[in-house]
Structure 1
Amino acid sequence: MARHIYSCPLRWSDMDAFGHVNNVVFLRYLEEARIDFMFRLAPGDGSPSFSGGSVVARHEIDYVRPLVHRHEPVTIESWVTKIGAASLTIAYEVKDPDQVYVRASTIVVPFDLEAQRPRRISAEEKSYLLEYMDDSAPGALAA
């Protein structure tokens, strides 16, 4: 299973009064990593995959340890734990080589912006997602 790697810069405004990255900022970090991951399929190839839109249906975040603000970026590893007909689950670890700060997951629903409704995952999208699939995740492939 491949993992998508995203190098996320920390910003001065991410810090809270205690010198840690604020808990809500991690959602922004996950969003940056998710967009980088999902849109690697479409740009430049003329593929419409994932470019039509998507919505977040759920986030789950476990804060493992505080991330102290610094100038060096943090690494976000992303992979897929579930693919359904019209949704997928992406898992993440926000980390350094020797330290995990956050473990999280997001349920993403592909969305038809023109029709303003959810849509099914295309065969091309599913093929791309399978490259990052963790086959050991419970219920990994749904109908």
Structure 2
Amino acid sequence: MKRTKKLILALSLVAAMFLTFVVVDSTTNSANTVQASSISFPKNMRGHWKSKPTYTDGKKHINKWMAIPAMDMKVTAKKAAWHFVGYLPKGMGYNHKKYVLRMSNSNGILKGHGPYGQDNSFVKRGKKLILFYQGGGMITFNRAK
């Protein structure tokens, strides 16, 4: 009786390990993942977007109180090219160079040089496109006219 219980326990452990291996293998198998070349931005996110500058708690609309400059972004099917426009605060490391973000997976995570770190994502809420960046911040974009 004890021998059969031990045999059943051993067989169930082997079966559990086999099922765990199958589940882990199916989630990490490259055939099940979406290829990067097939991922694209949704059509409602594509186009030309602009953001307004963000100011600190001091007096508003004076360049010396600017925290984040205005941004321009063009989103195509495969990439989002962005750059800062207009006045840039001195000594903060801002420049007018163009940078590119690409979709890395179907969850909306972006790879590439973002404004504040490498972890970025897009969300479309109503008529606004919101760029979430590393550290919990966000930049709101409106369609360019």
Task: Specify if TM > 0.5.
Answer: no
Q: TM-score, length-normalised on structure 1?
A: 0.28
Larger Rg: 2
Q: TM-score, length-normalised on structure 2?
A: 0.28
Q: Which has the larger helix fraction?
A: 2
| Structure with more contact order per residue of length (Cα contacts < 8 Å, sep ≥ 6) | 1
